[in-house]
Amino acid sequence: MGGRESTMVLLDSEGRRCDGRRVDEPRRIMIKAGGLKNADGSAYIEFGDNKIIAGVFGPREVHPKHLSDTDTGILRVRYHMAPFSVGERKNPAPSRREIEISKVIKEALEPAVMLEQFPRTVVDVFLEVIQADGGTRCAALSAASVALADAGIPMRDMVAACAAGKVADTIILDVNNEEDQAGQADMPIGYMPGLEKITLLQLDGVLTPDEYKRCVRVGIDGCKIVYDLQKKALAEKYFGGQQ
């Protein structure tokens, strides 16, 4: 990003992106609720070539005990990339990047989860990236919401996430790995569509104030697409597809 412009054609003369998508077209998204027998709630997401499993455990007793809060439950999130999830083997030890992503996902989920109903407990969210291709934090956050709902944790809204960005001076929806590496900006957004509230907004790259506003609008449109698929995934598991 920024200064990493490559010679790759990110947008051709017909307005097609490097993977053939239009500027406002997300990658193929598939969300499934459930799947992990030993978790209280779980979900699986494919977001383009990203493949991520989310497992939720709790509310349960906090260990170590001194971390518990008598007024509310707490949320813990661990985002982790499998060593085989990327082209060049990733060290399995938690990297600074994974610690940061775990923190931003936790903070993006907290406004949605009604933890005050479960004082002294913890809800653990494990996010395992088994294949990564740009945009894993958004895909993982979207899967985490479905897994929390699948665990029966009361929520004010779902958090749906999608990135917008800028390549070849054009605002695009859902940034893939090549566009992330060689483009001009990447803006992951987490959004509660029912409450119309943004819970995650990061920006890597440089945008003018006008481009910034357009990116937020485009990103929110992407979140709404994800939101429909999250609801569909839960409806499929619990109501045989009826929403």
Q: Compute φ and ψ for 227, nearest 5 degrees.
A: -60, -45
* Residue 179 in contact with ligand UDP, rule: CB under 6 A: no
- When asked if residue 180 is in the footprint of ligand UDP (CB under 6 A), the reply is yes
CB of 50 to ligand UDP, least distance (A): 7
* Stretch in the footprint of ligand UDP (CB under 6 A) among 26-34, 55-63, 127-135, 193-201: 127-135
Nearest distance in Å: CB 131, ligand UDP: 9
Q: Between residues 25 and 236, which has the closer beta carbon with respect to ligand UDP?
A: 25
| Dihedral, 62, 63, 66, 70 alpha carbons, nearest 10 | 10
CA of residue 12 relative to chain centroid, distance: 28
The CA dihedral of 85, 5, 21, 146, to the nearest 10 degrees, is 40
Span near ligand UDP by CB under 6 A; candidates 15-23, 68-76, 131-139, 211-219: 131-139
Q: Which is nearer to ligand UDP, 82 or 220 (CB)?
A: 82
Min separation Cβ 184 and ligand UDP, Å: 14
**Contacts (CB under 6 A) with ligand UDP, residues 136-175:** 136-137
Residues 81-100 that bind ligand UDP (CB under 6 A): 86, 90, 97
Q: What is the dihedral of CA 107, 113, 114, 115, to 10 degrees?
A: -60
Question: From the CA atom positions of the chain, what is the Rg in Å?
Answer: 18
Query: Toward ligand UDP, which CB reaches closer, 40 or 133?
Result: 133
Q: Calculate helix-pair angle for 136-150, 209-239, nearest 10 degrees.
A: 30
Residue given tokens 């945009």 in the structure block: 135
Contact call for residue 58 and ligand UDP (CB under 6 A)? no
What residues does 91 pair with on adjacent strands?
none
Chain positions contacting ligand UDP, by CB under 6 A: 86, 90, 97, 132-137, 177, 180
